[in-house]
Amino acid sequence: MAVTEIALLPLQEGKIPDDRTSAVGQIHADLLETLLAQPGCQRCYWGRGVEDRLLLRWFVDWDSVEDHQKFMKSDAYKPFLDRFGELLGGAPTLYHASFTPHPPRAALSDTTSPATEIVTMYFPTSYSKEDQDEVVEKAKAAIKIIEKEAKEYRASAGGWVEEEIDIPETDEKAKAYVLLIGWTSVEAHIEFRSHPAFKEVIPNLRGNKDLKKLVAVHAHLTETTGGPSGVGDVSDL
């Protein structure tokens, strides 16, 4: 089953890969080229966080979790990690989510959503299938309101994380649901918060049963795919 790897990659101070003509940018481009050459790897959306400019985010679409795991067990993976170590200022965090729709391109790619709101909701690890389904339905209801009332909304995708992950700032594990919302800009999303309809959105997200924590952040993500001449940005094609 197709999945999206979510990688949170803390950068060293000054190791900013945005400029592909710089030495750091070239290392990052080489890493993307290695990634996109792997069997089962579809594409990568990458960019630094708006709220935390030293946190690089990768969203990588794979044909399956097994394809990603094969890469991690391959001879190419250690050199890949070692090269990444030249950029990282801390341990990376990796997990997978099964987004609907897949690929979640419309909500992540800069070609359709110049800004992506990333909402992560954390629930008990014992959360039932029935409760999970209710979260999905409430997320759909929230998006339906946004789609109707927010002119600057572009797209969305949502999915449960395959692994149990840490709740930020705690030692507790959780079952997590990730909702991606594409906007024309971060400012457009912030402006929508003052819209009367926003009050209808919030209960569908923060009102979920046994919600332990909700974190909402933003990122500007560049979609990148492989090609015959190496790594290329979709926006350049």
* CATH number of the domain within which 106 lies: 3.30.70.100
Adjacent-strand bridge partners of 210: none
Determine which helix (DSSP H) or strand (DSSP E) holds 190, and give its type and residue range.
Answer: helix 186-192
pLDDT of residue 235: 36
Q: Could you tell me the two tokens for 1?
A: 């089953």
Are 91 and 12 contacting, i.e. CB atoms less than 8 angstroms apart?
no
Using the Cα atoms of residue 176, residue 17, residue 230 and residue 34 in order, give the sign of their dihedral: negative
* Residue written as token pair 């949502």: 158
pLDDT class of 199 with cuts at 50, 70, 90: very high
pLDDT class of 230 with cuts at 50, 70, 90: very low
Model confidence pLDDT, tens digit, residues 204-218: 999 999 999 999 999
pLDDT class of 226 with cuts at 50, 70, 90: confident
Mention every residue, 6+ apart, whose C-beta is less than 8 A from residue 170: 213
pLDDT of residue 236: 34
Mention every residue, 6+ apart, whose C-beta is less than 8 A from residue 57: 6, 7, 8, 9, 46, 47, 48, 49, 118, 219, 221
Least confident piece of the model among 4-13, 145-154, 226-235: 226-235
| DSSP conformation letters of 77-121 | HHHHHHHHTTTBSS--EEEEEEEESSS-HHHH-TTT-SEEEEEEE
107-109-112-116 Cα dihedral, nearest 10 degrees: 50
What is the maximum alpha-carbon separation in the chain? 55
The stretch 40-68 carries a mean pLDDT of 98
Domain span at 189:
3-236
Q: Is the pLDDT of residue 114 over 70?
A: yes
pLDDT of residue 233: 45
Higher pLDDT, 228 or 201: 201
The stretch 187-213 carries a mean pLDDT of 97
The stretch 107-123 carries a mean pLDDT of 98
Q: Measured in Å, how far apart are the chain's first and last C-alpha atoms?
A: 28
Environment class of 167 (CB within 10 Å of its CB; exposed 0-12, middle 13-18, buried 19+): middle
Model confidence pLDDT, tens digit, residues 117-161: 999 999 999 999 999 999 999 999 999 999 999 999 999 999 999
The stretch 31-49 carries a mean pLDDT of 98
Q: Count structural domains, the chain.
A: 1
Q: What pTM value is reported for the model?
A: 0.94
Are 214 and 120 contacting, i.e. CB atoms less than 8 angstroms apart?
yes
Q: Could you tell me the two tokens for 215?
A: 């974190």
The stretch 192-200 carries a mean pLDDT of 97
Least confident piece of the model among 94-108, 161-175, 219-233: 219-233
